[in-house]
Amino acid sequence: MRTWSTCANRQRGTVAIATAVSAVALLGFLGVVVDGGRMFVAKTELQNAADACALAAAYELDGNANALTRAENAGIAVATRHMLNFQSEAVVATASDIQFSTTLSSPSGDNTNYQTQAAGAPAASKYAMCTLTRPGFPVTVSSIVGATAKAVAARAVATIAPAQSACAIPLGVCSKGPAPSYGFTPGEWVTGRFDAGGGLTGSFNWIDFTPQGGGLSELANLLTGQGMCNTSVGTDVGQSGLLGNAAAKAWNSRFGLYQGGGGNPQPATAPPDFTGYSYTPMSYPAQADALPDFLSPQRVNNSSFQGNAATGLSISEAYSTSTSADHAAYGANRRLVTAPIIDCAGWVSSQTVPIQDYACVLMLHPIGSPGDTVSMEFVDVSSSPSSPCSTSGLAGGTIGPLVPVLVQ
């Protein structure tokens, strides 16, 4: 005979089983929410690192013999500064995570065209792809219901493309003809004087990006820094006033020449180029097409400034010359620069002239003192696909200088 007590016991057993099943289901849902959310955050953090890695690597793709090595180093350095897992662990990146290609995708539309430098990626590559992975990302709540660690991965591809705006040095190349070459031949040396109004008798002129509020300190700061950023075609610029020693010291810092004393540029805050090797009529009698020699062997070897006897310059003994080790340790892309192209003759009738375009130029040698003749090499217009100049700016233009931009 079935008693009330027996039925009650059976009901309690059924409730217990249902509760246990429900608890497991609830833990599963909780695991999806908690661990799924953690993995989403980790994926976002890793994607940020991959984006930064690709942009930094693409910036270095200038076709130079050591471009891929520099691109790998830049990508790794930037990626590993990022953190993931709620900023609790550093992102790991190696050379095998960075691949290169001359085209965005393969004929079939995938990424099989990308190779690492070790696997034979071409030096002329224009696209950099960073693939970052965090294997075995731990789960917490989900492990109760049998879930195991999962891998989190992110990928980004970047290249260099024309910009709407750019960072440019405060030096205007005086146009000699119409676009697209403006009367210049790639490899041509152009000269001017390191004082105000040089462009009226030479091929370039020192410019003031803020005609109403610029000055000598602004000019020196732009030369020690990245230049004036957010400039664009059509921006009006003025002529600089008399140039002083501060501007000369700032210019010379890009060649690894520094003077002691407070307020003077130093390598940590005003880095030199990868080489201080200089080109003058004495050191390079051809007086044209110095870029190939500059890129290799001089940049590759981190060659130092040769001195006055070898160059015919009169650089003060107050300057100390950076060693090859200094150029390797502090060096950056400081002598292949973007400069506005302007109509210098327009200053005869106006206090300002508009930027017509941008040129990629090579700074050839340091300056002894204000009033010296200064030479640069016209490499190409900055928007040319073959231009080795990369800068910082807002991507999306059609005639501006090249800047790194994400494409995948």
Out of 8-17, 251-260, 321-330, least confident range: 8-17
Q: Are residues 149 and 262 in the same domain?
A: no
Domain membership of residue 121 (yes or no) is: yes
Same domain, 198 and 260: yes
Domain boundary among 140, 162, 184: 162
- The pLDDT value recorded for residue 104 is 84
2 in any annotated domain: no
Question: Do 192 and 324 fall into the same domain?
Answer: yes
Domain boundary among 95, 127, 162: 162
State how many domains the chain has: 2
Residue 287 lies in a domain: yes
Q: Which domain holds residue 208?
A: 166-406
Please say if the pLDDT value at position 80 is more than 60: yes
Q: Percent of the chain at pLDDT above 90?
A: 36
Bridge partners for 78 per DSSP? none
Look at residue 188 and tell me whether its pLDDT is greater than 80.
yes
Residue 338 resides in a domain: yes
Residue 189 and residue 273 in one domain: yes
- Residue 392 confidence (pLDDT) above 70: no
Range of lowest pLDDT (70-74, 303-307, 389-393): 389-393
Give yes or no: residues 143 and 170 share one domain. Answer: no
Answer yes or no: do 137 and 231 share one domain.
no
pTM: 0.70
Q: Answer yes or no: is 324 within a domain.
A: yes
pLDDT at 270 over 60: yes
User: pLDDT at residue 236 above 70?
Assistant: yes
Question: What is the band of 325 on the pLDDT scale with cuts at 50, 70, 90?
Answer: very high
Q: Look at residues 103, 130, 162 and tell me which one is the last residue of a structural domain.
A: 162
Residue 208 lies in a domain: yes
| One domain, residues 203 and 337 | yes
Q: Are 127 and 193 part of one and the same domain?
A: no
Q: What is the pLDDT of residue 85?
A: 79
Domain shared by 92 and 236, yes or no: no
pLDDT score for 183 = 93
Least confident of 18-22, 55-59, 71-75, 90-94: 18-22
Instruction: Tell me if 3 is assigned to some domain.
Output: no
One domain, residues 88 and 175: no
pLDDT band at residue 221 using 50, 70 and 90 as cut-offs:
confident
Do 120 and 199 share a domain, yes or no? no
Residue 31's pLDDT band, with cuts at 50, 70 and 90, is very low
Q: Would 1 be classed as within a structural domain? A: no
| Domain match, 226 and 276 both | yes
pLDDT in tens, 126-173: 899 999 988 876 666 554 544 555 788 899 999 887 666 678 888 889
- Mean pLDDT estimate for the chain: 81
